[in-house]
Structure 1
Amino acid sequence: MIDWHTLSPQEIERRAQSISPGEWAVDMQRPIATLLGSCVAVCLYDPAVGVGGMNHFMLPNMRKREGGIDVDSLLSGDYAMEVLLNGIIARGGARHRLKAKAFGGGTIISGIAASGIGKRNADFTCEWLAREGIELLASDFLGACSRKVLFVPATGDAYCRRMTTTMASAQEVAKAELAYAEALKRPPPKSRVELF
């Protein structure tokens, strides 16, 4: 059994699994890491059983495309929060014991700043947690920075490193977020089903 409190954040990061926009992970042992710009990551955990997880979402709510087809639901906070919650409960966590820590909503690209998406993501997170009765123990939202977040589900410890936005770091975060957003604009592949 690893004593996570004796490890440096650098060692925790080395052992962590990374998640990207639209992804989530639940674990009892392995740390989880992500890099945020305007997106938000929520760390939920049950301290009684040492299970927790993290998600990484780009927009607060699902939108509909023309014809009523959902835009990729993993992109949205409402879906990302539900799958994270259900994943923790499936691993033995109890809703009434859950605690949260949340990060992100930064403004690193001027075009994203104009849309206010970072603030909308942060507001959605606080509203969702309050509605579900889950205590938000710590948060770091907004500002002109990107963030590297590490979460240790076994202990509930979260580490957030604010990174001054340089052209290189902004491009790295923006590239991941914009690539994901562009992928959602493409129509889903037409499936062909033949009955025999």
Structure 2
Amino acid sequence: MRTEKIRHHLRVILGPGEFYASDSPVTISTLLGSCVSACLYDPINRVIGMNHFLLSNHRYAKALPMSETDAGRYGINAMELLINSMLRLGAKKRFFKAKVFGGCTIVMNRPEYGNFMCVGEVNSRFIREFLSCEGIPLVAENLGGREGRVIHFSSGDYAVYMRKIRSEGRSLRLAMRDRNCWLHAIEEQEKREAAMSNVELWGQ
């Protein structure tokens, strides 16, 4: 996470896996490929927050309920971190509204994916399902497609300013960044699972 100040205004730039919430004037920015950002706001208590998450695998069966996958668990954790951070600042969940962005497919599906979704599709499906289950109105979205996005979320009017990435070279670099992120997440997950398998339980 990086921050910069322009006069008295704060700008926060998120990277993959990060989130930020504020009850003060701020613009939150990020660069999205297959990742998704949920921009949440409580217009009554004037609290906003945004995350940037990439789920921890590259494909899931289309028929499998999202709640039964590692993706669902990972995504729920990313959303709960953001929501809890906003609640600590005085937001009320019943007033929440959401705008969501990202989930593109820069490298098109290959035949071997078959009945599986690529990570952009998984992210898009997850965030819609999560918001629906939590009863948070989705007032705007720009998901999918083949282009990355730069977004800026403003606390002043809760607007999200978006620019699509037209450069093929930059889009491919963005795809590689996302791929490296989820490979790292898979490695960390496998390390935790290996550590847990070596734990002996006593007293049973």
Counterpart of 1:149 in 2: which secondary structure? strand
| CA-based RMSD | 2.8
156-165 vs 36-45, which deviates more?
Answer: 156-165
Normalized per residue, the structure richer in strand is 2
Which of 27, 50, 65 does residue 54 from structure 1 map onto?
50
C-alpha distance in 2, partners of 1:163/1:103?
A: 13
- The answer on whether the counterparts of 1:108 and 1:165 sit within 8 Å (CA) in structure 2 is no
Residue 148 of structure 2 aligns to a residue in which SS?
A: strand
How far apart, in 1, do the equivalents of 2:110 and 2:18 lie? 21
Change (3 A) 1:109 1:165: farther
Name 2:21's counterpart in structure 1: 26
| In 1, Cα distance between equivalents of 2:146 and 2:20 | 27
Shift of 1:176: 2.7
Q: Which runs of 4+ in 1 moved over 6 A?
A: none
| Superposed displacement of residue 117, structure 1 | 1.4
Gaps of 5+ in 1: 1-10, 62-71, 191-196
- TM (norm. structure 2) is 0.72
Distance 2:177 2:109 in 1: 15
Say if 1:117 and 1:60 are closer, same or farther in 2 by CA, change over 3 A: same
Q: CA deviation at 1:15?
A: 4.8
Rounded Cα–Cα distance in structure 2 between residues aligned with 1:19 and 1:51: 17
Matches within 5 A, 1:81-100: 81-100=79-98
Q: How does 1:1-196 map to 2 (within 5 A)?
A: 15-28=10-23, 29-59=25-55, 76-110=74-108, 114=113, 115-171=117-173, 173-184=174-185, 185=187, 187=191
Q: Which residue of 1 aligns with 2:62?
A: none
Amino acid at match of 2:164: R
Residues 85-140 of structure 1, C-alpha deviations (whole Å, 9 max, x = no match): 11111101000000000001101124699542111111111111111111011000
The alignment-based identity, stated in percent, is 35
